[in-house]
Structure 1
Amino acid sequence: MEGVLHELNLMKGLLAAFALSGLIGWERERHGHNAGLRTHILVGVSAALFIVLSEALVQTFAGQDDQVRFDVIGVLGAVVSGVSFLGAGAIFSSKRGDQMKGLTTAAGLLATAAVGVACGLHLYVLATGATLLFLFTLGPLSRVAEAIPQKRRDE
Structure 2
Amino acid sequence: MDINAELIIISKLIVSFLLGAFIGLDRERHGRDAGIRTYAAVCIGATLFTAITAHLVNNPSDTSRVIANIITGVGFLGAGIIYRNSGAGTSHGLTTAATVWCTSAVGVAVGLDMFIIAIIGACSLYFLLSLHHQKWYIRWKQKMIHKYGEEDCNN
Q: Which has the larger displacement, 22-31 or 138-147?
A: 138-147
DSSP-derived class of the 1:139 partner? helix
After the TM superposition, which parts of structure 1 deviate over 4 Å for at least 4 consecutive aligned residues? none
How many residue pairs match? The answer is 142
Structure 1 stretches of 5 or more lacking a match? 63-68
Q: In the alignment, is the contact (CA less than 8 A) between 1:94 and 1:100 conserved in 2?
A: yes
What are the residue-to-residue correspondences of 1:1-155 with 2, within 5 Å? 3-59=2-58, 70-91=61-82, 92-95=85-88, 97=89, 99-140=90-131, 143=134, 144=137, 146-147=141-142, 148-149=144-145, 151-153=149-151
Q: In the alignment, is the contact (CA less than 8 A) between 1:58 and 1:70 conserved in 2?
A: no
Larger RCO (CA within 8 A; separation ≥ 6): 1
Q: Which has the larger displacement, 19-28 or 134-143?
A: 134-143
Would you tell me which structure has more helix in proportion to its own residues? 2
Q: Distance in 1 between matches of 2:150 and 2:125?
A: 28
Q: Distance in 2 between matches of 1:87 and 1:10?
A: 26
Shift of 1:141: 5.9
Q: 1:152 to 1:28 in 2, by over 3 A?
A: closer
Q: Distance in 2 between matches of 1:128 and 1:152?
A: 34
Residue in 2 that maps onto 1:66: none
Question: Who wins on radius of gyration, i.e. which is larger?
Answer: 1
Shift of 1:56: 2.1
TM-score by length of 1: 0.82
Q: In the alignment, is the contact (CA less than 8 A) between 1:20 and 1:131 conserved in 2?
A: yes
Q: In the alignment, is the contact (CA less than 8 A) between 1:13 and 1:121 conserved in 2?
A: no
Q: Distance in 2 between matches of 1:115 and 1:152?
A: 32
Alignment-mate amino acid for residue 109 of structure 2: A
Alignment-mate amino acid for residue 11 of structure 2: K
Alignment-mate amino acid for residue 76 of structure 2: F
Alignment-mate amino acid for residue 51 of structure 1: T
TM-score by length of 2: 0.82
